Structure 1
Amino acid sequence: MSNAEVVAAARTARPVVAMHLEMVRGGTCHAASDTGMIHAGSGGQLAAAQGSAATAGVVGMAGGALLAVSGAAWLLGIRRRTAGKS
């Protein structure tokens, strides 16, 4: 992955990261609570049949992706600051 791709991914994810951070700071983030049944046609039936394991997997993958993009953006910031000092 090139620097340009990482920067583009970080810029794309920034609004989502900011929204989640605002939710956590405001106390409105309920990721740990049970989401219950998902009403989305046949997808809702599938989710209900599989229980909360499917939901936990999706939340885990989304959280991992969010952490990866946030970490990449943080590292790019450090790189920029140290490159400017040279």
Structure 2
Amino acid sequence: MSEPTPSPRHHFVQAPIRPLDEDGVQVARAGTALWLVATLLLWLRLDALRAVGQGWWLWVGVCGVVLGLVGIVWCTRRRAARP
């Protein structure tokens, strides 16, 4: 007796719903907005942060905003390049 040939069928089924955000622009915008709010709060409390040697946290917020802006540009260009 010969063994049956394996079927080429896939065992995974695609969900019948659309993804919420296919290109990530909304997520990048929301994350950048949150980093901007955090940076503003850190800037308002900068004297207190410097008093305890934690003034570098302001630069963490600035880096988050800058990286978020880069992410927005990246995702927007990726969305525009899609057919």
Q: TM-score range by the shorter chain?
A: 0.3 to 0.5
**Structure with the largest fraction of helix:** 1
Please identify the structure whose Cα radius of gyration is greater.
2
